[in-house]
Structure 1
């Protein structure tokens, strides 16, 4: 898969994940794309666990679904880590 297609799928996955997750995520376009790309890696890894060939970087019909689920997981983990660092006065 080309880098442009990977970035476009990452952007779509990041936008969908941010729309589905409750709360306010103050991210720009680049951060949303990076979130989607990270979600694609996580989702690709999760998807490869269910496939017999174990290939992570292939384009599959369920790739966007697993990318969105991976991006939601990354967004949840980042949100949990951010809550622990905040100091309440």
Structure 2
């Protein structure tokens, strides 16, 4: 198992909580979907951190990128769900 992916999943859980805190409001999918979006944002942030050369975890910038990715994905998810409602 690649431990950097596991690390990004853990970072994603933290990022999901931070994203929810930074963008309050009613989420169409509830807590589980928000957590999954946080994990996806963490993986997206990890990919971007590797791509721009920030490493594979353990830096504050990685958490910032993961949180930004989670906020972005949460925003996109809300936009899509609100349009269909």
TM-score band w.r.t. shorter chain: 0.7 to 0.9
In 1, Cα distance between equivalents of 2:11 and 2:19: 12
Task: Choose from 18, 28, 33 the match for 1:16.
Answer: 18
Q: Is the 8 A contact 1:11 1:32 kept in 2?
A: no
Gaps of 5+ in 1: none
Which structure has the larger Rg? 1
Whether the aligned pair in 1 keeps the contact of 2:10 and 2:39 (CA below 8 Å) is no
Deviation at 1:66, TM superposition (A): 0.7
3-state DSSP of counterpart to 1:24: coil
2:63 paired with 1:64:
yes
Normalising by the residue count of structure 1, what TM-score does the alignment of the two structures yield? 0.71
**The structure with more helix, counted as a fraction of residues:** 2
What do you get for the CA RMSD once the two structures are aligned? Answer: 2.4
Structure-1 separation of matches of 2:35 and 2:9: 7
